[in-house]
């Protein structure tokens, strides 16, 4: 049984395998941010920070912090050689214009038609959508990286019950249990973490889960 | 035309009830000293247009705490608990707008466009009450231009004509807001003589800046 950190790293590691050499990628906050740590060495991937640059680099040493170079969560970061700064108009032109190859986001709920809810719980948590709606409508590929359930409650559903961030947007869901493609016929499990049985994964999924004929183990 | 003004002159350009655009992303690229001076003066009933409401002790977040806004138009309030409290308790009206849509609405306001057509927000709460338009078989949401009375901006350097340069991730909304406001006040970390900024390096042309104040180093 993995603890929370191990679970998140396991998911992030698998997400990183989806990124191709030369891709421009935007990572959401939380678990998705970890993906940058696991990009295979044979691939060069460019990370965008939607507050205005490409070439998002690691956290600097304390004495090298530049207050003007921070990520979209206002945490100090660095910009890599070959990077570039720009304003929010260009940053969202990059996002909305289909120039981001992959975005990796967390979610509260995902529906079998690709609808996603990840920006508010009415009356409880209303942080705002930030750039999430733009990323979901603009990125070429949307990967949701999250734990399969919320303390046992289903997050993969027939229909979302929370306010939607976007409709028909999600392409793939990667959890600690497996890799799921969102297809015109619904959720298709294409990789299975051998630590979980098919029955366990089905029970943790609040919609029909189709098992791919070419199901592979998740590594 | 002399664009250099004092902090006192600057705060007097912002009046009760004004709509103000403020540059910055979670307080990075925000005119902090101008904000402090406005709080000290005590302007009220403002409408804020800003990417986010930063933090309770930083950027426009301090103005939220000082209850200077009757309405806030923004993409994100999650880093400032006070904005959420004021919204949930009905003290302040908060309109949440997707970040890319917000910057494009400002750009439309400043660039003479009648609006922006976007897929962002289709099928969500953002679509409610708005027109959708079909162009060549694709559905888009019409988002209208927005403008303000005053834009409060930040730059690394300004020359005396208001030509601006930036450092790091501070450009964000600062490059558009000056186009969409009647008055735009820039707090520059450094003010230099005309000619000291190479025209090749200018990010915002001085015509979009009506007033400059010396903010000093960060």
Q: How far apart are CA A201 and CA A195, in angstroms?
A: 10
Q: Nearest by CB to B103, from A89, A123, A165: name it.
A: A89
Domains and their CATH numbers in chain A: 4-217 (3.40.1080.10)
Q: Do the Cβ atoms of A137 and B29 come within 8 Å? A: no
Q: Per the structure block, which two tokens stand in for B104? A: 């494009």
Residue A29's pLDDT is 86
Nearest chain B residue (CA) to A66 = B168
Report yes or no: B125 at the A interface, CB cutoff 8 Å: yes
> A126: which chain B residues are within 8 Å (Cβ-Cβ)?
77, 84, 87-88, 96
Residue B190's pLDDT is 97
Report yes or no: B119 at the A interface, CB cutoff 8 Å: yes
**Nearest CA to A131 among A55, A35, A28?**
A28
Question: Which CATH fold would you assign to the domain B7-113+145-214?
Answer: Glutaconate Coenzyme A-transferase (3.40.1080)
Q: Per the structure block, which two tokens stand in for B49? A: 């247009």
Nearest chain A residue (CA) to B86 = A126
Report yes or no: B189 at the A interface, CB cutoff 8 Å: no
Q: What is the mean pLDDT of residues A179-206?
A: 98
Residue B122's pLDDT is 98
Sheet arrangement for strand A53-57: A78-85, A53-57, A46-49, A24-27, A102-105, A141-145, A172-174, A178-183, A186-192, A209-217
Residue B79's pLDDT is 96
Report yes or no: A65 at the B interface, CB cutoff 8 Å: no
Q: Nearest by CB to A133, from B27, B121, B175: name it.
A: B121
If contacts are CB pairs under 8 Å, which of residues 40-59 in chain B contact chain A? 51-52, 55
Q: What is the mean pLDDT of residues A10-26?
A: 97
pLDDT in tens, B65-89: 999 999 999 999 999 999 999 999 9
**Torsion of the alpha carbons at B79, B80, B83 and B88, rounded to the nearest 10:** 70
ipTM over 0.95: yes
pLDDT tops 90 at residue A125: no
Q: Do the Cβ atoms of A127 and B77 come within 8 Å? A: yes
The percent of residues in chain A predicted with pLDDT above 90, rounded, is 95
pLDDT in tens, B117-165: 999 999 999 999 999 999 999 999 999 999 999 999 999 999 999 999 9
pLDDT tops 90 at residue A1: no
Q: What is the mean pLDDT of residues A33-39?
A: 94
């Amino acid at each position: 049984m993995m603890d929370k950190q191990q679970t998140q790293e396991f998911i992030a590691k698998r997400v990183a395998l989806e990124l191709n050499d030369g891709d421009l990628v935007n990572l959401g906050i939380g678990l998705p941010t970890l993906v940058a740590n696991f990009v295979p060495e044979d691939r060069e991937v460019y990370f965008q920070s939607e507050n205005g640059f490409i070439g998002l680099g690691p956290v600097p040493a304390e004495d090298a912090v530049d207050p003007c170079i921070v990520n979209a969560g206002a945490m100090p970061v660095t910009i890599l050689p070959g990077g570039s700064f720009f304003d929010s108009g260009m940053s969202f032109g990059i996002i909305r214009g289909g120039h981001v190859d992959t975005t990796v986001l967390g979610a509260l709920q995902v529906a079998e038609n690709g609808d996603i809810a990840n920006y508010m719980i009415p009356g409880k948590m209303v942080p705002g959508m930030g750039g999430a709606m733009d990323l979901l409508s603009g990125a070429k590929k949307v990967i949701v990286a999250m734990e399969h359930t919320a303390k046992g409650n289903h997050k993969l559903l027939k229909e979302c019950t929370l306010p939607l961030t976007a409709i028909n947007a999600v392409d793939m869901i990667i959890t600690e249990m497996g890799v799921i493609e969102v297809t015109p016929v619904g959720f298709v499990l294409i990789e299975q973490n051998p630590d979980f049985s098919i029955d366990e994964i089905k029970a943790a999924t609040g919609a029909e889960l189709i098992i791919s004929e070419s199901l592979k183990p998740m590594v | 035309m002399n664009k250099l003004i004092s902090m006192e002159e600057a705060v007097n350009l912002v009046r009760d009830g004004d709509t103000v655009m403020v540059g910055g992303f979670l307080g990075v690229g925000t005119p902090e000293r101008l904000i402090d001076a406005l709080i000290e003066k005590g302007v009220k009933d403002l409408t804020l247009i800003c990417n986010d409401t930063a933090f309770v002790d930083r950027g426009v977040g301090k103005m939220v705490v000082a209850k200077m806004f009757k309405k806030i138009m923004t993409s994100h309030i999650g880093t400032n608990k006070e904005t959420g409290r004021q919204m949930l308790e009905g003290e302040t009206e908060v309109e949440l707008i997707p970040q890319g849509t917000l910057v494009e609405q400002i750009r439309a306001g400043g660039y003479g466009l009648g609006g922006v057509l976007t897929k962002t927000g289709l099928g969500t709460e953002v679509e409610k009450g708005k027109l959708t338009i079909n162009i060549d078989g694709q559905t888009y949401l019409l988002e209208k231009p927005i403008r303000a009375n005053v834009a409060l901006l930040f730059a690394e350097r300004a020359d005396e004509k208001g030509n601006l340069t930036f450092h790091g991730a501070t450009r964000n909304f600062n490059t558009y807001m000056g186009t969409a406001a009647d008055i735009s006040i820039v707090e520059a970390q450094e003010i230099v003589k005309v000619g000291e900024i190479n025209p090749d390096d200018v990010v915002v042309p001085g015509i979009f800046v009506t007033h400059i104040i010396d903010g000093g180093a960060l």
